[in-house]
Copies of this chain bind each other. A is one copy, B any other.
Amino acid sequence: MSLKNTILTSLIESEKSGYDIFRQFQNSLNYYWNASYQQIYKTLDTILEQGLVSVRTVKQEQKADKKLYSLTEKGIEELENWVHEPTSQQKTKNDLLVKLTLARKFGSAAIIKQLQQRLSEKENELLNYRKIERAYFTPKPSAETHIKNVTYYLALRNGITHCEVEINWLHESIDMLSSNQ
């Protein structure tokens, strides 16, 4: 379960509530991790039982109580071990490519529509990444930049470059299918 380790990693920065972690996943982090809030709350329960995090409850006026989680020594050890373990790739599951092969059975009109939909999603995604890039990484980090910013920059670059090739591929595919109808 790597959601566990992703949550622990997020808690290195500061103590956080389940909702804080959820928002972080939804915003800047969404090019490298994704989880629903139900999953996050459940996992927090589990790692609390395992002693990897501790919790303190903060009473808030006019808002529901907040449970702030922070890393324990055991949690830090867990993370350090995990860094050294082999890292397996996420298994590809690309519905769009499967549907693409169905074009010859059911015609390409429907699949072209799906590709165009995905194209507009990806274009939006890229705009967001570019916004983050401009705001936090101009000028581009160099060898002298603090390592924290370097790793964030590299993660963002990963999101950007994959997004770009996907957009190119979508254009190419839409063109080819359109001229082949």
Please tell me the number of chain A residues within 8 Å of chain B, measured between CB atoms: 69
Residue A41 CB within 8 A of the other chain: no
Report whether B92 and A90 are in contact in the complex, using a CB–CB cutoff of 8 Å: yes
Which A positions have Cβ atoms within 8 angstroms of B? Answer: 2, 5-6, 9, 12, 30-35, 79-80, 82-84, 86-106, 108, 110-111, 114, 117-118, 121, 141, 143, 145, 147-148, 150-152, 154-155, 157-158, 161-162, 164-166, 168-169, 172-173, 176-177, 179-180
A4 to chain B, nearest CB (A): 11
Do most interface residues of chain A lie in helix, strand or loop, or is the interface mixed? helix
Report whether B106 and A80 are in contact in the complex, using a CB–CB cutoff of 8 Å: yes
Q: How far is the CA of A84 from the CA of B3 in the complex (A)?
A: 32
Q: How far is the CA of A145 from the CA of B181 in the complex (A)?
A: 11
Return chain B residues, CB-CB under 8 Å to A79: 102, 105-106
Q: How far is the CA of A92 from the CA of B30 in the complex (A)?
A: 7
In the complex formed, the residue of B with least CB distance to A114 is: B87
Return chain B residues, CB-CB under 8 Å to A157: 169, 172
